[in-house]
Each structure stands twice: as C-alpha cells, then as structure tokens.
Amino acid sequence: MIKAIVFDLDNTLADFIRTKELCCSAAVSAMVEAGLPLSEKIALKKLMALYWKQGIESQDIFQKFLEKELKKIDYKILASAIAAYRRTKAGNLMPYPAVRQTLLRIREKGLKTGIVSDAPKMQAWLRLAEMGLADFFDAVVAFEDTAEKKPSEKPFLAITKKLGVNPDEVVFVGDDIQKDIAGAKKVGMKTCLAKYGVSKYTKTKKSIKADFEINNFSELLEKI
C-alpha cells in the first residue's frame, strides 16, 4: 500500500534548468556590460560548461569563472553578475503547471509527501518558499542530512525515516534515471520518471526503467 510520495526538486517540481539558463544569460550580459572582454555568446557557453563541471549547485561559480577568464576577481563584474542573476531568478522560478493542484489532491488523500534533493538545505528550502510550496511537504532531505548525493541509498532511506514509512510504501518521482530512479529502486521504492523534466543535461541509462512515467505533473495520481 502506498503511504507516501517523495519528489526530486529540480526539474520535477520546477523547470530549474530553464531558470538556471535564463539567470546565467542575464548574469553574462551584466558581466560583459561591466567590462568582461568576451562576447555574450562565448561567455555563456564557457560559464555553463564550468557549471556542469563544478556542479549545478556551485555557490561560487562566478568567482571561479572570473578567476579562470581574467586570472583575478573583478568585483565590479562579480557584483553585476550576482545582482542580475538574483533579479532574473526572482521573476522566473515557478512550479510546473498543475503542481499545486496535484499536491493539494495528494494531501487530501492522506498521503505523506517529501523531497530528496542534492541541493544544500538552505537552497532547497529557498526554492520551495519562492514557489509557495514549502507547506506542501512533511519532510525534506537535502545534502547536509546525509553528506551523500543520489543515487546513494542514504538520502532515500533518510526520507523514509523522517516520514515514518517503509521504502516499499513510497513512490519516488524524479527526472534523472541514473540518480533518482536508480537510487530509489535500490532501496525498494516504486519509481516514476518525470519525462517532462528530462533535459539535454540529464544523464540516461536504458538498462534502468521506472515503474511508470508521466508526461506532465497532473498525470501522477492517475498512474498510482
């Protein structure tokens, strides 16, 4: 019997990659305007490549970018980038269609809800608060809770402990086959692939299959 639904956060509840790209584009434009000696197209390509190398949750990516390109940190350029990034993020981070309505229906059915994210705890909670979703979840497991990232079993087991359920009583919903689906399967959870969130950056592995797939968030309750 299913007692809980647990979600990945980025690209499952919100289009994080689209928001990240918009924010980085705005930051690059601001850096070039502030004196960065690169074209916006080249600078954005280099910045995104560095992001995926360092990790999408990197909190000092602009410093590393400037050190790499200028061999120093120009604080005028750095401040311009951070300010532009924050302005853009505030206006663009939002849940996918039907997320709020579906979460309300899940709560009405008496199912527990949780999140497992590789993001730092403050960043995970900030994203939820910015989207107005913080009150929809009974528990959140972020990086600091286990010091390990998906597909390690530890984050998945940690959320079951917080929710007070067994792994076989959980459906895990995520966009990443190798991290979300593989990790949840290892501990015995049912799995759902959020196909709408799979991006060009998402790693796939054909040998791993989710128990079911959804093409939009509103399909979730119908599938389970």
What is the pLDDT confidence band of residue 203, given thresholds at 50, 70 and 90? low
Q: Are residues 8 and 27 in the same domain?
A: no
177 shares its domain with 83: no
- State which of 92, 108, 129 marks the end of a domain: 92
pLDDT at 200: 58
Q: What is the pLDDT of residue 162?
A: 98
Both 83 and 24 in one domain: the answer is yes
99 φ/ψ sector (left φ>0, alpha ψ -120 to 50, else beta): alpha
Token pair 């359920």 in the structure block, residue = 165
pLDDT at residue 30 in the model: 97
Predicted TM-score of the model (pTM): 0.85
Q: How confident is the model at residue 106 (pLDDT cuts 50, 70, 90)?
A: very high
Smallest Cα–Cα separation from 2: which of 135, 156, 172? 172
- Give ∠ CA 182-52-188 in degrees, rounded to 5: 10
Q: How far apart are CA 152 and CA 81, in angstroms?
A: 34
Q: Which of 69, 92, 115 is the last residue of a domain?
A: 92
Q: Please, how many CA atoms are within 13 Å of residue 188, restricted to the half-sphere of its CB?
A: 8
- Which of the listed residues 51, 66, 92 is the one where a domain comes to its end? 92
> Do residues 37 and 85 share a domain?
yes
Looking at per-residue pLDDT, the higher value among 93 and 156 belongs to 156
- CATH code where residue 190 lies: 3.40.50.1000
15-31 pLDDT tens trace: 888 888 999 999 999 99
Give the closest residue to 43 by CA, choosing from 62, 20, 15.
Answer: 62
The model's confidence at residue 204, banded by pLDDT at 50, 70 and 90, is low
Map tokens 């990034």 to a residue.
Answer: 85
Q: Are residues 103 and 9 in the same domain?
A: yes
pLDDT tens-digit readout, 108-164: 999 999 999 999 999 899 999 989 999 999 999 999 999 999 999 999 999 999 999
Does residue 85 contact residue 23 with C-beta atoms inside 8 Å? Answer: yes
When divided into structural domains, the chain yields a total of: 2
For the chain, what is the mean pLDDT?
Answer: 93
What's the first-to-final CA gap in the chain, in angstroms? Answer: 10
* Mean per-residue pLDDT, 214-219: 95
Statement: residue 12 has pLDDT above 70: yes
Beta strands in the chain (DSSP E): 4-7, 112-116, 139-141, 170-174, 190-194, 212-214
Q: Is 90 exceeded by the pLDDT of residue 201?
A: no
Question: Token match 């401040």: residue?
Answer: 79
Give the CATH number for residue 27: 1.10.150.520
Alpha helix locations (H) across 75-152? 75-92, 99-108, 121-130, 143-146
- What residues make up the domain containing 127? 4-15+95-223
Q: Are residues 161 and 179 in the same domain?
A: yes
